[in-house]
Every structure is written in C-alpha cells, then in structure tokens.
C-alpha cells in the first residue's frame, strides 16, 4: 500500500471513530468522547514532533515502539502523572481495537498495544466530606435567587445519589420519576450504563419545586434538567461552571466550618456518600452497585476513608422517618494534525 493511501485511510478511520463510532456505540458522554479526541490529538502532536509528515503517515506509526515513546513524551515532556498516561493509553487502545474491526490487517496494532505495561501508580486516598461540611456547603446558596435555588437542588441531588457530576449534568427531565411510589432517578454512567437511584422526600420536594420554576407545568421530557441560561438553546451546564460555584460556596462555608476544604470539588460529595454508606453497614458489593463501579476493587478505596480517618457517618441530611416534611422551595424570584482534521 502506498504511503499516501495509508495516510488517507488512517485519517478517515480516525474521523469515523471520533464523530460516528465513539458517540453512537461506545458512550453517551461527551466528556468521554472529548477524552478520545484529546488522546488522538496528543498522539498526532507527538508524531509531528517525531518528524512525521502527512505523506509519511502509515500504520507503522501506531506500532508498539512509537506508543512507548509517546508515553515517555507524555510523562517527561508534558509532566503527565502515571494515572493520566494510563488513561491516555487506554483511550488509544480503544481506537486501535476499532481499527482492527475496520481492517483485519491492522489488528496486530491493538494486540501490540495490549502488551504495553501500564505505569505504576501510587494508590490515591479518597477524601470525602464530613456531615458538618456537607451541611455547611448546602447552607450557602442564596434561596432568594433563582441561581441559588438551582444550586441547592443540584448539590442535594449530587450528594443524595452519589452520582458523578457528569451524570447529574447530563440528566434530562424524562429521567426523573418523582410521582412513583418510591421516587427515583435513572442515571447514565460510563459506557451509557443505567442505574437507578432512589430519592429521599426532601430531595423529591425540592426537585418538584425546581421543575415547576425552571421548566414550567408541562416540562419538555428531553430537556436538560440543569441547563445553561446563557443563550436560548438551554444547553448543558459545564462541569467547569459548576466547579466554580462549588468552590465559591466552599470558601464561604469554610469560614463557618473548618471541616470544609477550600478547594472542595464535586467528586468529594460522591466520596462522602460512599464512605457514609459503608459506615451505615451497607456492604461493599452493594455500595459498588450504587456507585456504578464495574469492580469491587474500585470501590475498596472508599474503605480507607472509613477505617483510617474515622469520619462520622452521614446517613442523610434529614430523617426519612419524618412524615411531615415541610417544603422549603420558594418560587420567588499544512500539519499532520490539520491533515487528519484534529485541533490542537
């Protein structure tokens, strides 16, 4: 095969993988798709630094030797940590597996990539939030403002379901089932896998008020539950925007409760809920299911919080036994990158 034909073929496969295969068959998360794009962009950027021009781009540039040098480049030149390098390697493997399905002659590339050892990583300890910290943060949103009421509902749902922030932001109105005998929400995690999270009365009450104020009496089922008010398309809120809101609340809450880390981020609510479930006697297998983890090994890291730090158990923010729960919602107010079609 001529080099030019090989380059065109590989470039077409990259485009099909990013814009067709990944979003339709691998994941519903635009964040995951972005991770694939970033990985391929970084890989092609590395090839450019290796002196690979569009006319020279062939299958050999995805062979083991190039991939191993790419990992060293990520580590030494870009100062990527081992965890990040391993994530990039995993994403590249997914693409190479796709290549093998499109052309059996390229299947050896995926087989070679699977033989590359993952970098050793220091086990990270998950840091959650105490009961007092969670309560302090949730006391910060100003309920006199529309944004404050939205933020409180989002934070309550984030903690109450132990969901990832991306799962919360990708929720649509149709995913809520508030009138069921036991209200619940369907969450879509990594790989588009769905799991059910049951909702406590106070969260349900706030969600009902939120829907009425932000979506009207007849909400559009396909609309994002939490949407951006910038523009008229009501697009999905970004994780960056919510992260800024959380850090704003954490900074002010820290002045009243030292348990609140100033750099609090959304995933700490998930860590907290997981550790509190364990404290309450829910076994690891059940917690793993509730979190949407594929393996128990992933869930085990949450045990470190419970056994070593002795964090006080946090069952819920309110007693589920209470029947008269007041509604607190107020409705007032010329390179290889260019050739392939990837952006830097």
Mean predicted confidence (pLDDT) in 106-132: 83
CA distance 137 to 161: 17
List the structure tokens of 53: 């021009």
13 or 31: which leads in pLDDT: 13
What's the pLDDT tens digit per position in 101-117? 999 999 999 999 999 99
- DSSP assignment letter at 25: I
Q: Quick check: 298 pLDDT over 70? A: no
What's the Cα-to-Cα distance from 49 to each of 38, 53, 335, rounded to whole Å? Answer: 16, 10, 11
* DSSP-assigned letters across all residues of 109-178: HHHHHHTSPPPP-PPPPP----HHHHHHHHT-S-TTSHHHHHHHHHHHHHHHHT--HHHHHT-BGGGEET
The pLDDT value recorded for residue 340 is 65
Q: What mean pLDDT comes out for the span 132-143? A: 93
Beta-bridge partners for 186 = 196
- Whether pLDDT at 140 is above 50: yes
Extents of the domains making up the chain: 3-122, 131-309
Pick one of 1.10.1740.10, 1.10.443.10, 1.10.10.60, 3.40.47.10 as the CATH number of 131-309: 1.10.443.10
Has residue 75 got a pLDDT over 50? yes
Lowest mean pLDDT among 36-45, 200-209, 275-284, 311-320: 311-320
Band (pLDDT 50/70/90 cuts) for residue 191 is low
Provide the 3-class DSSP secondary structure of residue 292.
coil
> Residue 230: which pLDDT band, with cuts at 50, 70 and 90?
confident
- Mean pLDDT value across residues 29-43: 88
Rounded mean pLDDT, 299-328: 43
Please determine, for residue 20, whether its predicted confidence score (pLDDT) is greater than 70.
Answer: yes
Q: What pLDDT score does 301 carry? A: 59
What pLDDT, on the 0 to 100 scale, is given for residue 11? 92
Task: Scan for tokens 């087989």, then name that residue.
Answer: 111
């Amino acid at each position: 095969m001529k080099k030019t034909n090989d380059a065109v073929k590989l470039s077409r496969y990259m485009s099909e993988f990013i814009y067709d295969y990944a979003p339709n068959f691998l994941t519903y998360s635009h964040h995951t798709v972005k991770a694939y794009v970033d990985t391929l962009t970084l890989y092609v950027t590395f090839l450019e630094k290796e002196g690979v021009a569009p006319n020279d781009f062939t299958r050999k540039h995805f062979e083991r030797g190039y991939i191993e040098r790419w990992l060293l480049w990520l580590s030494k030149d870009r100062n990527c940590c081992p965890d990040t390098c391993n994530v990039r390697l995993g994403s590249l493997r997914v693409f190479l597996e796709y290549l093998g399905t499109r052309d059996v002659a390229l299947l050896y590339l995926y087989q070679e990539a699977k033989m590359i050892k993952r970098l050793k990583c220091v086990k990270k300890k998950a840091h959650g939030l105490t009961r007092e910290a969670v309560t302090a943060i949730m006391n910060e949103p100003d309920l006199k403002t529309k944004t404050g009421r939205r933020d409180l509902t989002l934070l309550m749902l984030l903690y109450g379901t132990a969901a990832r922030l991306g799962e919360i932001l990708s929720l649509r109105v149709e995913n809520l089932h508030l009138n069921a005998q036991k209200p619940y929400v369907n969450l879509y995690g990594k790989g588009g896998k769905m799991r059910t999270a049951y909702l406590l009365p106070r969260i349900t009450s706030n969600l009902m008020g939120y829907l009425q104020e932000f979506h009207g009496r007849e909400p559009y089922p396909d609309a994002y539950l939490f949407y951006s008010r910038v523009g008229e398309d009501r697009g999905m809120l970004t994780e960056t925007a919510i992260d800024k809101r959380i850090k704003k609340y954490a900074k002010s809450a820290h002045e009243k409760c030292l348990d609140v880390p100033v750099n609090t981020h959304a995933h700490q609510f998930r860590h907290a809920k997981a550790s509190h479930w364990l404290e309450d006697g829910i076994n690891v297998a059940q917690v793993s299911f509730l979190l949407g983890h594929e393996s128990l090994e992933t869930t085990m890291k949450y045990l470190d919080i419970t056994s070593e730090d002795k964090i006080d158990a946090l069952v819920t923010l309110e007693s589920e036994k209470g029947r008269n729960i007041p509604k607190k919602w107020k409705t007032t107010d010329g390179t290889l990158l260019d050739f392939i079609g990837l952006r830097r």
